[in-house]
C-alpha cells in the first residue's frame, strides 16, 4: 500500500494546499458591496468540461494507483513468476506514442484554427489507437498461445487485468473521438473535443508507460 | 490542461448563462422521469434511497427478533440471518446514506446554495441516477437468485465470501459485486458534477469562503468518494475474477468443505486493505455532509453565525485528508504486520482533534445565541449528543490496545450505529424538516415532528447505549445465537430483548414520519419562501418550490457569507446573502 | 427546556448505568492487565469530555433559549478560545494514546522464553499442535491437508515427528508460563478469541499471525471465533483450560505425537466380527437397524464417526443424560469393547456390511421448509447428506429417519451434545436450535429421505 499511500498523500496535499490557498487570509464575515471585485474569478477561465475531465483523470489515476499497489503487494507472495512479456508490446507502445503525437498535432492545428489539418491528424490518431488496441489483443493471443492463461499465475492475471482496464479506458475515449471525428457540427465543439481527447490520450499514454515499465520489470 | 490559449467568446462564464439556455422539457415524462433538473433528480435519488433503506430497516427488525428472542422464529435460520445482516449493512451504508446525502441532498442543495441554475452537466446527472437505480435493482434481484443474497458481511471478506459454507457464495456475491460496480460508475458521474458545479458554477460573489458549510461538507465528501470508491471497484473486479475465472488475487492455497481448491498464493489481507481504503473514507463520506448540514441547521435556528467558520472549513478539509491514512484501524486484529498498529493508532486519534473542534464550535454557536427549538433544531442537538457519544467510543477502538479486546464485539456495532446509524440519520430527519418547505412549499406538522424526534432520539439511545456493555462482556458480532458460554451471564439476554423491543418501537415510529411527509404534502401549512428566516440562497428563490433554473430571470449576486444572523445594527436578525450592503446600494443609486 | 432536562438525564443515566450495570469486562486471566488499565484511562478521559460538553450544552440550551427580546451575540470567531480547545483536546488525546502505544509495544514483542503452540482453525472447529520435545514445530502445508493428514504435516520434516497433535476443541495451557499462539487456518478467516485473555487475532490462510500471553488464573474459558467464517460461525467454539504444569503435562501426554498417529494400526474386521455379535442382537446381523428396538442402522455409517461415538458411550460423554433413554441402553454395551483397538475392529467389521438404504418410516409430504432448513445442515453434512469427514459431520442420507428425528430432538433439548467433553456435539446443539418450530424436525427428516433417492 506504500504506492497508494504516497500517491494519495501527494494528491491530498495538493488539494489541501489549493483549498487552503483559496481560503486563508479571507475574512468571510466581511460583506462587500462590490461583489464582482470580490468574486474569485480565476475559475471562470477554464471551461467546466475541462475541469470535469481533470477531476475524472484524478479518479482514473486513483484507480490505477490502487491497481498498482495491489500488484506490488501481491508480487511479494512466493508464487510470483515473472511474465515473459510478448515482444509486440514494444511495437504497441510505439503506436500509442504516435497516436498521442497525432492528437497533439491535431490540438496544435485546432489552436491555429486550421481545421483541415486538425481533422486529418485526428483521424490518424484514432486509427493508431485502434492499431494499438488490436496489438494488445494480439499480445493476449500470443500469451494464451504460449500457455500463459489468466489463472495460471498472478503475474499473468495482472497483465490481462491491466491491459484490459487500460484498453477499456481507451475505448471510452474513442467514443468521444468518434463524435469529434465524424461530427460535422460547429467548429467550436469539435475543437473542444479535440482538446479533451488530447489531454486524455496523453494521460493514458503516461499510465501505459508506467504499467509497461512495471510489467516489464517484474 | 493549462496554457490553453483562451477564446473569451467560446465559453461564457457560468454565472452569465442566460436563463433561456436551459432546456425546459414540456412533457410530464421529460419533466419528472427523464428529468435533467437537479432538483427532480434529487427527489428521484432520495425516494429510491429511502425505499431501499426501508428494506434495510425491516431487515434490521428481523435480525433483532432473532437476537432478542432466539429459538422463536424458525424462518430465520443462520444463513438467512447472515444474509440479512449483510444486506442491512450494505444497503444502509452505501445505497441509503451515501446516495441520500450526495445524490439527494447534494443534487438539491449544491446548485441552489451556490447560486447556479443547475448542475454543470445535467445529462450526466440524469444518467447518474439511472445507473444508481440499476445498481439498486441488481441488488434487489440478488434476493431472488438461487442461494439468495451474499451472507459474508458487508465487508465481503474473501476467501469465505466466494466459497461454499457462506450463504449466497455463488450468485449472491456476483450480483453484489456487479451492483457495487454500477453504483460506483453511477456515483462517479454524479460526483464529477458536484465537484465541477461547486468549482465552476458559483454565483458572482460566492467565494469559496462564503459557501454554506452544507456545501463544504458535501463537496469534501464527494472528493473522498471519488478517490475512495475506486478502491472498492478494484477489489470488486479482482474478487469477481477470483470467483469466476479462477485467478488467485485474494485466494491462497486452501481447503473448502474438505476438498483442496486450485487457488495459490493470494492474500486475503490485501483485500482488506483495499476494502478499508474505501471503507474508512466511506464512513466520513456519510459523516461530512451531516457535519455540514448540522452546522447550518444550528446556526439558522440559533439565529447566530456559525462559530469559527474558517476553522470549521479547515476541519472539514483536515478530516477529509486524514481519512485516507487511517484505514487499517479496522485491521488491528486482521493479522497484518502489527507494527502498523503504531502508525494507524496515532493517525486515528489525531482525527479526533479536528472533529472535536467541530463539536466545540457547534456548541459555541448555541452559546449566547437565541435558540429556537424548532424540530430541525431538536434533531440537530440530538445529533451533537449522539455524535459525541459515538465519536468518543471511536477513540476506544482507535487506540489499538483497547481495540484488541473490543474488536468484532457488539462494542463495535454500538459504536458505528451511534455514530452512523443514529447521528447522520438524525441529521437527515432534521434536514428534511428544514428543507421540506422549500421542496414542497408546505410545512411539516410540528407536533408529529416533535413526537418523531423524541421517540427516535430516546429510542435509539435505548437501543445502542446498552449495546456497548454487551461488547464489554465480549458478545461477538455476526452471531446468530449466543448459546451458552461460561462468561456471558443470562442477564445479557435480557439486555438483548430490551434492545429488540426498543428497536422495533423506533422502527414502527418511523411510520409517523412517513405519514407526516405524505399528509403535509397535501395539507401542510403553506410555508412561504423563507419560513426559517435564513440567509442562504435557496431561501431567496423567486418561486417556492423553485422552478427549473432556480432563480428566475437573473442569477443572484452574493455580497456576504451565509451566516449574517443577528448582525448588530441590522433591521432584521438575518441578512440574505444576496442583499447588498447599505452604503453600496446607496452609492449605486447615486451613480445612476 | 425539556431537551436540556433530557440531555442531563441521559448523561446522568449513562454514567449511572456504567457504574451500576453488572455487565462489564469478564475478570481477566492473563498478564494483560495493562489493557484493562488503558481502557480505564480512556474511560476517564472520554467520560470527562462526555459529561462536560453535554452539561455545557444543556446549560446553553436553557440559558439562551429563544425569547422575543433577545438577540444573539455577534461573534464570527474567537481564535484564542479555539486554539485553547484544540490544545486541551490534544492533551486528552495524548493521555490516551501514549499508554496505548506503550502497551502495544509490549504486545508486539514476544518474550524469548514463550513456548510456542499452534492453533489451527477450520470451518467450524479448532485443533492444536504442540512442538513436542524438540520445542520446534514441524513444517506444514495446506496442500498436504487431507482426511489422513488433517494437520497438513510435512512427513519429511524430522522436526514434525514429535509434534503433539490435539484433534480436539479443547486446549490446555500451563499456568504462569508465557505462550505464543501461532494461528493457522486451513480454509477461511477465523479469529481466536478468549474474552478472559483480552488479546485476540485473526487466523488468515496463507499466513501465520500470532499473539502471546501468560495465563495467570486457572480455569476453563470459552474460545469463540470472532471473524465471520460462514454459516456456522457462531458454533465455532472451543475451550482453553489453564492448569498447573503437572496436570498440563499429563494432559499433553495423553495425546499422540505425529509419528504415533502414523503407526496406529487399522482395525481388523475379522477380529471385530466376534465383538459385533453383541451389537447384532439389536442392530441386526447386517447392521440394518431395528426400529422396534430403537436400534439405528449402522451399515454405511462413517467409520471415524462410529469410533468417536463408541468412545463417547464408553466414557459417559454420550448416553449418560437421564432423558436419553436409548442412549442409556447403549452405554453398557459400549463397555464390552475393551479398548480403542476393539472399537476400531468392530467399526472395521461394520464397514464390510452391505449398505442398503433404510426404510422410511416418517410418512409426510416433503415440505419446502425441510429443504430450506437443510441449507444450514448441508454446509457441514454435504449438499447430499453424504457426510464430510473434514467437517466432522457424519452421513445423514439413507440412514434411519426415526433415529435422526430422535437425535435432532435430543440435540435441540440438550439431551445430546451438551456434555463438556463432547467435541462437536455442542455445535450440533446450537445448530439444532433452528428446528424450534414443532414440525421442523419432521420436515427436515422427510427432506433427508429424499436425498437418499437422489444418491
Ligand atoms: C459515520 C460513520 C463513522 C464515524 C464518523 C466514525 C468515527 C470514528 N471511528 Fe468508526 N466505524 C464506523 C463508522 C464511523 N466511525 C463503522 C461503520 C465501523 C465498523 C465497520 C465494520 O466493521 O463493519 C467503524 C469502526 C471503527 C473502528 C474499527 C473497530 C474494529 O472493527 O475493531 C475504529 C477503530 O479505530 C473506529 C474508530 C473511529 C474513530 C476514532 C472515529 C473518530 O472520527 C471519532 C471522532 C469524534 C470524537 C472523538 C467525538 C468528538 C470529540 C470531542 C467531543 C472531544 C474529544 C476530546 C478529547 C478526546 C479530549 N471506528
Ligand atoms: C446507516 C447505517 C445503519 C443503520 C441506519 C442501521 C440501523 C439499525 N441497525 Fe444496523 N448495521 C449497519 C448499519 C446500520 N444499521 C452496519 C454497517 C452493520 C454491519 C453489518 C455487518 O456486520 O456486515 C449493521 C449491523 C447491525 C447489527 C449487528 C448484527 C450482527 O453483527 O449480528 C444489528 C444488531 O442489532 C443492527 C441493528 C440495527 C437496528 C436495530 C437498526 C435500526 O433499525 C435502528 C432504528 C431506526 C432508525 C435509526 C431509523 C432509521 C430510518 C431509516 C433507515 C429509514 C430511512 C428513511 C429516511 C432516512 C428518511 N445492525
Ligand atoms: Cu471461524 Cu467464525
Ligand atoms: Cu474507520
End residue of a domain, out of A74, A106, A128: A74
Are A11 and A106 found together in one domain?
A: no
- Asked whether the beta carbons of residue B196 and residue A35 sit closer than 8 angstroms, the reply is no
Judge if the beta carbon of residue C202 lies within 6 A of ligand 3.
no
Instruction: Judge whether A79 lies within some domain.
Output: no
Q: Which ligand is nearest to the CA of C192?
A: 3
Q: Are residues A208 and A154 in the same domain?
A: yes
CA distance B12 to chain A (A): 8
Give yes or no for residue A36 having a pLDDT over 70: no
Give distance in angstroms: CA of B365 to centre of ligand 4: 28
Final residue of a domain: which of A19, A40, A74? A74
CA gyration radius, chain A: 21
The residue whose C-alpha atom lies closest to atom 13 belonging to ligand 1 is B416
Q: Are residues A110 and A146 in the same domain?
A: yes
The beta strands (E) that lie in C274-372 are given as none
Q: Look at residue C454 and tell me whether its pLDDT is greater than 50.
A: no
Task: State whether A148 and A169 are in the same domain.
Answer: yes
Residue B50 parent element (H or E): helix B38-68
**How many of the other CB atoms lie within 10 Å of CB of C108?**
14
Is A100 in the same domain as A144?
Answer: yes
Ligand 2 pocket residue status of B476, Cβ below 6 Å = no
In the prediction, which pLDDT does C452 show?
65
- The candidate with the shortest Cα–Cα distance to A42, out of B10, B207, B3, is B207
Give φ, ψ of C128 to 5 degrees. -140, 160
Q: What is the pLDDT of residues C353-392, one digit of tens each?
A: 888 888 888 777 777 888 888 888 888 898 888 888 888 8
A93 within a domain of the structure (yes/no): yes
Q: Say if the ipTM goes beyond 0.90.
A: yes
Give A135→chain B minimum CA distance, Å.
23
d(CA C399, CA C302): 11
Q: Are strands C115-122 and B259-260 parallel, antiparallel or unpaired?
A: unpaired
Per residue in A117-132, is it b (16+ CB within 10 Å) or e — as a string? ebbebbbbbbebbbbb
The Å distance, Cα B223 to ligand 1 centre, comes to: 20
- Regarding whether A44 and A152 lie in a shared domain, the answer is no
Would you say residue A27 lies in a domain? yes
Give A77's contacts in chain C (Cβ within 8 Å). Answer: 206
CB contact under 8 A, A29 and C206: no
Q: Over the stretch B10-45, which tens digit does the pLDDT of each residue have?
A: 333 444 444 445 566 666 676 777 888 899 999 999
Residue of B nearest to A150 (CA): B247
Q: Note whether A54 and A103 are same-domain residues.
A: no
Take residue C197 and report the three cell numbers written for it. Answer: 485473555
Question: Could you read off the pLDDT of C338-351 as tens digits, one per residue?
Answer: 888 888 888 888 88
Residues of chain B falling short of pLDDT 50: 1-20, 584-592
Q: How far is C44 from chain B (nearest CA, A)?
A: 11
Whether residue A185 is predicted with pLDDT greater than 80 in this model: the reply is no
Cβ separation of C206 and A77 shorter than 8 Å? Answer: yes
| A117: in domain | yes
Query: Is there a contact between B317 and A1 (Cβ–Cβ < 8 Å)?
Result: no
Please name which of B461, B379, B459, B388 lies closest in space to residue B426, comparing C-alpha atoms.
B379
Q: Considering the domain boundaries, does residue A80 fall inside one?
A: no
Helices (H), B246-339: 268-301, 309-322
Alpha carbon of B90 to ligand 2 centroid (Å): 10
**Is residue C102 scored above 90 in pLDDT?**
yes
Are residues A120 and A62 part of one domain? no
C103 interfaces chain B, CB cutoff of 8 Å: yes
Question: Residues of C near A (CB-CB distance < 8 A)?
Answer: 76, 206
Contacts of B343 in chain C (CB under 8 A): none
Taking residues A107-134, what's their average pLDDT? 89
The reply to whether A66 and A129 lie within a common domain is no
Please list every residue in chain B whose beta carbon sits closer than 8 Å to the beta carbon of residue C437. 74
pLDDT of residue B583: 55
Q: Among A34-48, A63-77, B181-195, C379-393, name the most confident range.
A: B181-195
Q: Is residue A152 part of a domain?
A: yes
Task: Chain A: list its partners (3+ Cβ pairs within 8 Å).
Answer: B, C
Angle (nearest 5°) at CA C343 between C339 and C345:
115
Residue A94 sits in the same domain as residue A165: yes
Q: Which residues contact A211 (CB under 8 A, 6 or more apart)?
A: A64, A68, A162, A163, A166
pLDDT in tens, C116-130: 999 999 988 999 999
pLDDT value, residue C100: 94
3-state secondary structure of C416: coil
| CA C39/CA B28 separation, integer angstroms | 60
Q: Which single residue is written with the C-alpha cell 476494502? A: B275
**pLDDT on residue C329:** 86
Q: Which tens digits make up the pLDDT trace of B398-417?
A: 999 999 999 999 999 999 99
Domain total in chain A: 2
Contact B277 A46 (CB under 8 A): no
**Ramachandran bin of B478, using left for φ above 0, alpha for ψ from -120 to 50, beta for the remaining angles:** left
Q: Residue A168 sits in a domain of what CATH number?
A: 1.20.120.80
pLDDT of residue B585: 46
Same domain, A67 and A100: no
A-B Cβ pairs (cutoff 8 Å, strict): 189
**Ligand 3: nearest atom to the Cα of C234:** 2
Most C-contacting residue of A23, A25, A29 (CB-CB within 10 A), to test interface: A29
**Which of A49, A74, A99 lies at the terminal end of a domain, its last residue?**
A74
Ligand 3 mean position to C231 CA, how many Å?
9
Does residue C190's CB lie within 6 angstroms of at least one atom of ligand 3? Answer: yes
Asked whether residue A150 is assigned to any structural domain, the reply reads: yes
Give the pLDDT confidence score for residue A41 in this predicted structure: 44
Give the one of B120, B210, B583 whose C-beta lies nearest to A48's C-beta. Answer: B120
Residues 6 or more apart in contact with residue B78 via CB below 8 angstroms? B480, C231, C232, C234, C376, C431, C434
Contact (Cβ atoms closer than 8 angstroms) between residue C225 and residue C233: yes
Tell me if chain B has a CB within 8 Å of the CB of A53.
yes
Please name the residue of chain C whose CA is at the shortest distance from the CA of residue B461. Answer: C10
- Rounded to 10 degrees, the C-alpha dihedral B436/B442/B446/B448 comes to -80
Domain around A168: 85-218
Residues A132 and A177 in one domain: yes
- From A114, A215, A213, select the one nearest A159 (Cα to Cα): A215
Asked whether residue A163 is assigned to any structural domain, the reply reads: yes
Q: Which of A31, A39, A157 sits opposite B247 (nearest CB)?
A: A157
Amino acid at each position: 500500500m506504500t504506492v497508494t499511500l504516497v500517491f494519495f498523500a501527494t494528491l491530498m496535499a495538493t488539494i489541501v494546499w489549493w483549498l487552503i490557498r483559496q481560503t486563508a487570509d479571507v475574512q468571510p464575515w466581511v460583506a462587500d458591496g462590490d461583489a464582482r471585485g470580490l468574486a474569485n474569478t480565476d475559475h471562470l477561465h477554464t471551461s467546466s468540461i475541462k475541469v470535469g475531465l481533470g477531476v475524472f483523470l484524478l479518479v482514473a489515476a486513483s484507480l490505477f494507483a490502487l491497481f498498482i499497489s495491489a500488484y506490488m503487494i501481491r508480487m511479494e507472495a512466493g508464487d510470483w513468476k515473472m511474465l515473459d512479456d510478448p515482444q509486440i508490446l514494444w511495437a504497441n507502445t510505439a503506436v500509442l506514442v504516435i497516436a498521442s503525437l497525432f492528437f497533439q498535432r491535431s490540438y496544435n492545428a485546432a489552436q491555429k484554427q486550421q481545421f483541415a489539418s486538425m481533422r486529418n491528424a485526428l483521424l490518424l490518431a484514432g486509427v493508431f489507437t485502434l492499431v494499438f488496441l488490436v496489438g494488445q489483443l494480439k499480445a493476449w493471443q500470443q500469451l494464451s498461445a504460449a500457455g500463459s492463461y489468466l489463472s495460471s499465475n498472478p503475474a499473468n492475471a495482472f497483465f490481462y487485468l491491466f491491459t484490459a482496464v487500460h484498453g477499456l479506458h481507451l475505448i471510452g475515449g474513442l467514443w468521444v473521438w468518434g463524435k469529434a471525428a465524424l461530427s460535422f457540427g460547429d467548429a467550436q465543439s469539435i475543437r473542444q473535443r479535440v482538446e479533451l481527447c488530447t489531454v486524455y490520450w496523453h494521460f493514458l499514454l503516461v499510465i501505459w508507460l508506467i504499467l509497461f515499465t512495471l510489467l516489464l520489470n517484474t | 490542461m493549462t496554457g490553453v490559449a483562451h477564446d473569451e467568446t467560446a465559453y461564457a462564464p457560468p454565472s452569465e448563462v442566460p436563463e433561456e439556455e436551459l432546456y425546459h422539457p414540456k412533457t410530464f415524462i421529460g419533466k419528472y422521469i427523464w428529468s435533467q433538473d437537479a432538483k427532480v433528480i434529487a427527489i428521484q435519488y432520495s425516494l429510491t434511497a429511502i425505499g431501499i433503506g426501508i428494506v434495510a430497516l425491516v431487515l434490521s427488525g428481523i435480525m433483532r427478533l432473532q437476537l432478542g428472542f432466539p429459538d422463536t422464529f424458525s424462518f430465520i435460520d443462520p444463513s438467512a440471518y447472515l444474509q440479512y445482516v449483510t444486506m442491512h449493512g450494505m444497503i444502509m451504508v452505501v445505497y441509503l446514506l451515501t446516495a441520500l446525502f450526495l445524490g439527494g441532498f447534494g443534487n438539491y442543495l449544491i446548485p441552489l446554495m451556490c447560486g447556479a441554475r443547475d448542475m454543470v452537466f445535467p445529462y450526466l446527472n440524469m444518467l447518474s441516477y439511472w445507473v444508481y437505480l440499476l445498481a439498486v435493482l441488481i441488488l434487489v434481484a440478488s434476493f431472488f437468485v438461487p442461494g439468495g443474497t451474499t451472507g459474508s458481511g458487508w465487508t465481503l471478506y474473501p476467501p469465505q465470501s466466494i466459497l461454499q459454507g457462506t450463504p449466497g457464495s455463488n450468485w449472491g456475491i456476483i450480483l453484489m459485486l456487479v451492483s457495487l460496480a454500477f453504483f460506483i460508475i453511477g456515483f462517479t458521474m454524479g460526483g464529477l458534477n458536484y465537484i465541477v458545479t461547486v468549482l465552476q458554477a458559483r454565483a458572482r460573489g460566492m467565494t469559496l469562503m462564503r459557501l454554506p458549510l452544507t456545501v463544504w461538507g458535501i463537496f469534501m465528501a464527494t472528493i473522498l468518494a471519488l478517490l475512495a470508491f475506486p478502491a472498492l471497484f478494484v477489489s470488486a473486479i479482482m474478487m469477481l475474477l477470483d470467483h469466476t475465472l479462477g485467478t488467485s488475487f485474494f485466494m491462497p492455497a486452501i481447503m473448502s468443505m474438505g476438498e483442496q481448491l486450485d487457488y495459490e498464493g493470494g492474500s486475503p489481507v490485501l483485500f482488506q486493505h483495499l476494502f478499508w481504503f474505501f471503507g474508512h473514507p466511506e464512513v466520513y463520506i456519510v459523516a461530512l455532509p451531516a457535519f455540514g448540514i448540522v452546522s447550518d441547521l444550528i446556526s439558522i435556528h440559533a439565529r447566530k453565525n456559525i462559530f469559527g467558520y474558517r476553522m470549521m472549513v479547515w476541519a472539514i478539509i483536515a478530516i477529509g485528508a486524514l481519512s485516507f491514512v487511517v484505514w487499517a484501524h479496522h485491521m488491528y486484529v486482521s493479522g497484518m504486520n502489527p507494527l502498523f498498529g503504531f502508525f494507524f493508532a496515532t493517525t486515528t486519534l489525531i482525527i479526533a482533534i479536528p472533529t472535536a473542534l467541530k463539536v466545540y464550535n457547534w456548541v459555541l454557536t448555541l452559546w449566547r445565541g437565541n435558540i429556537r427549538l424548532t424540530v430541525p433544531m431538536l434533531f440537530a442537538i440530538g445529533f451533537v449528543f449522539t455524535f459525541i457519544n459515538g465519536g468518543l467510543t471511536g477513540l476506544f477502538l482507535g487506540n489499538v490496545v483497547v481495540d484488541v479486546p473490543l474488536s468484532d464485539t457488539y462494542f463495535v456495532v454500538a459504536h458505528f450505529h451511534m455514530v452512523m446509524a443514529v447521528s447522520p440519520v438524525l441529521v437527515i430527519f432534521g434536514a428534511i424538516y428544514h428543507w421540506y418547505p422549500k421542496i414542497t412549499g408546505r410545512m411539516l406538522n410540528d407536533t408529529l415532528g416533535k413526537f418523531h424526534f423524541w421517540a427516535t432520539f430516546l429510542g435509539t439511545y435505548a437501543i445502542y447505549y446498552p449495546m456497548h456493555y454487551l461488547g464489554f462482556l465480549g458478545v461477538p458480532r455476526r452471531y446468530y445465537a449466543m448459546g451458552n458460554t461460561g462468561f456471558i451471564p443470562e442477564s445479557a439476554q435480557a439486555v438483548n430483548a430490551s434492545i429488540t423491543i426498543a428497536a422495533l418501537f423506533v422502527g414502527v415510529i418511523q411510520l409517523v414520519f412517513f405519514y407526516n411527509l405524505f399528509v403535509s404534502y397535501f395539507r401542510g401549512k403553506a410555508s412561504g419562501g423563507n419560513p426559517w428566516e435564513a440567509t442562504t440562497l435557496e431561501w431567496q428563490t423567486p418561486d417556492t418550490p423553485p422552478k427549473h433554473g432556480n432563480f428566475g430571470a437573473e442569477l443572484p449576486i452574493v455580497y456576504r457569507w451565509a451566516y449574517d444572523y443577528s448582525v448588530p445594527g441590522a433591521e432584521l436578525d438575518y441578512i440574505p446573502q444576496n442583499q447588498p450592503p447599505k452604503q453600496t446600494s446607496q452609492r449605486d443609486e447615486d451613480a445612476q | 427546556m425539556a431537551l436540556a432536562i433530557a440531555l442531563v438525564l441521559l448523561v446522568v443515566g449513562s454514567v449511572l448505568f456504567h457504574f451500576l450495570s453488572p455487565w462489564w469486562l469478564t475478570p481477566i486471566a492473563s498478564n494483560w492487565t495493562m489493557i484493562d488499565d488503558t481502557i480505564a484511562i480512556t474511560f476517564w478521559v472520554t467520560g470527562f469530555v462526555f459529561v462536560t460538553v453535554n452539561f455545557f450544552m444543556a446549560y446553553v440550551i436553557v440559558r439562551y433559549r429563544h425569547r422575543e427580546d433577545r438577540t444573539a451575540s455577534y461573534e464570527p470567531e474567537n481564535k484564542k478560545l479555539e486554539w485553547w480547545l484544540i490544545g486541551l483536546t490534544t492533551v486528552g488525546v495524548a493521555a490516551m494514546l501514549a499508554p496505548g502505544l506503550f502497551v502495544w509495544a509490549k504486545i508486539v514483542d514476544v518474550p524469548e522464553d514463550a513456548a510456542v503452540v499452534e492453533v489451527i482453525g477450520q470451518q467450524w472447529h479448532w485443533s492444536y499442535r504442540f512442538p513436542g520435545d524438540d520445542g520446534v514445530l514441524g513444517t506444514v502445508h495446506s496442500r498436504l491437508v487431507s482426511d489422513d493428514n488433517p494437520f497438513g504435516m510435512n512427513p519429511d520434516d524430522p522436526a514434525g515427528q514429535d509434534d503433539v497433535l490435539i484433534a480436539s476443541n479443547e486446549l490446555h495451557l500451563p499456568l504462569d508460563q508465557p505462550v505464543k499462539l501461532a494461528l493457522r487456518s486451513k480454509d477461511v478467516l477465523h479469529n481466536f478469541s478468549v474474552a478472559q485473555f483480552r488479546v485476540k487475532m485473526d487466523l488468515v490462510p496463507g499466513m501465520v499471525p500470532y499473539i502471546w500471553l501468560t495465563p495467570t488464573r486457572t480455569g476453563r474459558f470459552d474460545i469463540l471465533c470472532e471473524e465471520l467464517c460462514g454459516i456456522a460461525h457462531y458454533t465455532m467454539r472451543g475451550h482453553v483450560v489453564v492448569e498447573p504444569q503437572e496436570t498440563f503435562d499429563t494432559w499433553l501426554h495423553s495425546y499422540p505425537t505425529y509419528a504415533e498417529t502414523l503407526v496406529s494400526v487399522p482395525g481388523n474386521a475379522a477380529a471385530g466380527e466376534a465383538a459385533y455379535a453383541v451389537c447384532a442382537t439389536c442392530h441386526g446381523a447386517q447392521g440394518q437397524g431395528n426400529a422396534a428396538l430403537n436400534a439405528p442402522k449402522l451399515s454405511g455409517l462413517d467409520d471415524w464417526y462410529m469410533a468417536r461415538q463408541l468412545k463417547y458411550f464408553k466414557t459417559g460423554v454420550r448416553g449418560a443424560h437421564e432423558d436419553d433413554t436409548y442412549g442409556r441402553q447403549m452405554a453398557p454395551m459400549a463397555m464390552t469393547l475393551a479398548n480403542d483397538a476393539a472399537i476400531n475392529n468392530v467399526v472395521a467389521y461394520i464397514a464390510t456390511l452391505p449398505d442398503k438404504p433404510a426404510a422410511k418410516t416418517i410418512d409426510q409430504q416433503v415440505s419446502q421448509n425441510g429443504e430450506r432448513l437443510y441449507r444450514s445442515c448441508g454446509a457441514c453434512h454435504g449438499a447430499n447428506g453424504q457426510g464430510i469427514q473434514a467437517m466432522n459431520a457424519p452421513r445423514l442420507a439413507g440412514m434411519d429417519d426415526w433415529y435422526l428425528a430422535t437425535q435432532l430432538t435430543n440435540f435441540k433439548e440438550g439431551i445430546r451434545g451438551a456434555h463438556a467433553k463432547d467435541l462437536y456435539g455442542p455445535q450440533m446443539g446450537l445448530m439444532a436450535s433452528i428446528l424450534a418450530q414443532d414440525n421442523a424436525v419432521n420436515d427436515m427428516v422427510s427432506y433427508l429421505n429424499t436425498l437418499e433417492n437422489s444418491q
